[in-house]
Structure formats: structure tokens, C-alpha cells
Amino acid sequence: MEPLFLFLFTGFVSMSGALSAGQLNKLPDEEKPAFMQSRNGMVTVIMIGNLAALTLIGSLAYGFRTLEWWIPLSSIFLSFPAVSVGITQRLFGDKVNLFLMLPLTLASIGLLYYYW
């Protein structure tokens, strides 16, 4: 697999999952979705966000190792957040985006492990 495509896929889905988890955690208690009203729901969102953030760190390490330094650096600050917030979170909403990115983040972990 082409390193650039692997980096862009794994970085985007993990950044999108982490940002969605962060947005859900910042909501006031009365605006949180029903599943987050319990303690287990909140812990689940936090754990998914942490898993996505760790995958993002792995994706960045892979990107810095295999690509030019400016590609991962510009992607982490410009491309990934802009596409995530500008398109996927507006299109799906934070809750759906989080649970849509969860299986993709898990697949990203396997892809990073396999191709590294």
C-alpha cells in the first residue's frame, strides 16, 4: 500500500474520531445524547476518543518516518481538522461520526501494524 494513502486514511479517521469524542464531552449535561447520561456511556466516549488519539499518534509517527516531514505536519494542523469539522461532523453529527469512525479507527490500527 502506498504510504501516503495509508497515512491520510489512518490520520483522518483517527483525528475525526478524537474530535467527535471531544465535542460530545464538551456538551452541557442537558444536551448530551441519551446514551451519555449514564457513567458507562461517558466512559465509552472517552475511551473511544483516547483510542483514536493514540491511533493518530501512531499515524503521525508512520507519516514522519515514511514521508517528507511537511506532509504529516500540515495534515495534522490543517487538512485533517478542516475536513473532519467542515464535512464529516456537519454531515453526520458528532454522535454518528464517532461511531462511524470507531470501526475505521480499529481497521487503521491493523493497517498501521501490518504495513509498518
Residue 35, pLDDT score: 87
Residue 87, pLDDT score: 93
Of 96, 107, 106, the C-alpha closest to 20 is 96
CA 8 – CA 80 distance, rounded (Å): 8
| Angle subtended at Cα 3 by Cα 10 and Cα 102, rounded to the nearest 5 degrees | 10
pLDDT by 10s per residue, the chain, length 116: 799 999 999 999 999 999 999 999 999 988 888 888 888 999 999 999 999 999 999 999 999 999 999 999 999 999 999 999 999 999 999 999 999 999 999 999 999 999 98
Report pTM.
0.92
Of 74, 88, 65, 75, the C-alpha closest to 11 is 75
